[in-house]
Structure 1
Amino acid sequence: MDIKLAPDQLLSQVNQFWSMLDDMAENSPQSYQKFIQRHLEEGKESMAPPEQHLCLQTKILDPDEQLLFINICEWKKIPSPESDKHPVPLMAGELKDISDGAVISIAYSPEVLKKADKDPTEQDQLIRLAMKYIEQQHKVTLCHSYCIAPFKLKGTVQQMRRSLEGIGQKQKKTKGRTEDVPDRSLLDQLRNIAVKDEEKEEPKTPIVIMAETKTKPNVGLIEVMSSTELNEDDLAPPPQHELSVIRDEAGSPQKLILTAYLQGVHSVSRCDLNVSKDDLMLEVPGKFKLHLDLPELVNEDTVTAKYNKANSTLTVTMSVL
């Protein structure tokens, strides 16, 4: 819960803060220097800009079909979840149209992304969390298939940072121009007192003391997707699979064969398979989820599926129209 302080209460806290620092500087200069240095280092880290990590390519299917690029970024100001049972914090920029589609930037904690780099399943879950967020916030339907682009960032670094760093700021209109007005937090009050006539981009020592509160971000700054908001099946990883196109002597496609390895699945009754003319959805609730856009149109009435219990392999055969 956010607690709004009255101006007199806020100034009282600021005065107590300065008095405490004055006493420390006078009675224990060494402790004062260590205290200031520590918060300078923490403040510098918390004020670091977001950095590119990887770029995804997928498609918006509805309301208008177009390519979508998702910049997955890392940002030190975003906290890591307290434990594996807590929701993963993320921050999202605006969804913007570009010449060859649309682009949006999503930022996670560097620690979260570092852990995901070592575990493909966890990386896939973070990606699908980002896609679910985009669908919910922007009222669009995305293709469930995606690929990692050969480049780390769509657009420029400056565009990505402006998109993410602009979140949480209000727009105040003045004659002839628009001015960004950030929330009036205690940090801003300290900045105005401490640097009065200095540039706000160059904060002095007392300002960074507020780095201690970086694990409690302002409301609206970081969107937290609770595990209760997403079904377990939405984050289920795709199984290992291979889709083959069988062609005749003339090179025309005749059949599509999907082979999916469902490790730990001991009964075909747990599998839910749906095939339409142009896509395939395979689900094992709570374990696997696979959605594929088929490279050829198929005859839904002739689809066959066989499950081999010995090696936990499902083979789906589809005749091309």
Structure 2
Amino acid sequence: MEAFCRSEDMVEKASQVWAMLDDMAENSPESYRRFMQQQLNSAKQYYAPPEPYLCLEAQILGPTEKRLFVNLCSWSKVPPPKSQSDPVPLSAGRMDTFAKPEPYSIVDIAYNPSVLEQGGNPSERDRLICLSLKFIEERYDVSLSPACSTAKRKLKGSLERMRNSLRGGRPTPPPSEKDAPCPKTSLRKEVTLEQLKNITAREEDSSLSLLTESSAPRKPCLIEEISSTERPEELKSPAYEVTTRKDASGKALKLEVKVEVPEVHCVSECNLSISKDDLLMECPQKYRLHLNLPESVEEEAASARFFKKKGVLLITMPICQQSQDPSAE
């Protein structure tokens, strides 16, 4: 009966919201337009895929010695911390290991964009890197060298691999970091104690605190891993055609990708993500296309048009002219 009452309350509240929107649309069309546009922008930001922010290069000392690349990523789906004393959520993907040209592993960690914006402060950036590495040690049961460096590229591996890894991440407790270094065995015991003191039952997931330095009065800075409910879908690949447009002298100007999507009825059904070197188009429950581009493109200047009658999506991407200029090497 209680559940039924709650359902009735939800229906009533939904009816009130719709009535308010109808009234706004009738009496203040401009306010209604701005409100709807704001909601669309918020939804677009929320469903945007994770983007590379910074790549770290570290060294795994055990159980097997090899290089480790850590992709720190920005993802709006990871919630921001509620306050400085609340947990800083993160989402972590799997650890992928590759054998060539020499053994190395890749781990992807995503934070909310607001957390990474603080990376402009060197001390905050170092703290975030330190916490990320400590988290990796406990999450993947490895021992890392205390030294690490920033890689030249923002992302190690392909954009598709990183996004699939983060979307399939599973929750595990993060580690605890004390002010002074401590042996790994001691760290594990402290994690267990902190878990008993701080873990609380939650509807969707449980979290574990990660302690670090903070200013007086002393309050712990916390970090928690969240679980992503997204899973890569098995979607069919649509027919497509890639064309390089050149000027009269034969210089490549732009790439055009024509994608046939006959089952799509509205452009809002497609999610398009373009990086410098690849393109990812996803139409939930219908199509998925990932392309490695033959030329480096200016992703910010890319555009797309949807021809509804033909069921064709045309994507246009200007080619980076610097990549074609021999003097730029």
TM-score by length of 2: 0.46
Structure of higher CA gyration radius: 1
> Greater RCO between the two (CA within 8 Å, min separation 6)?
1
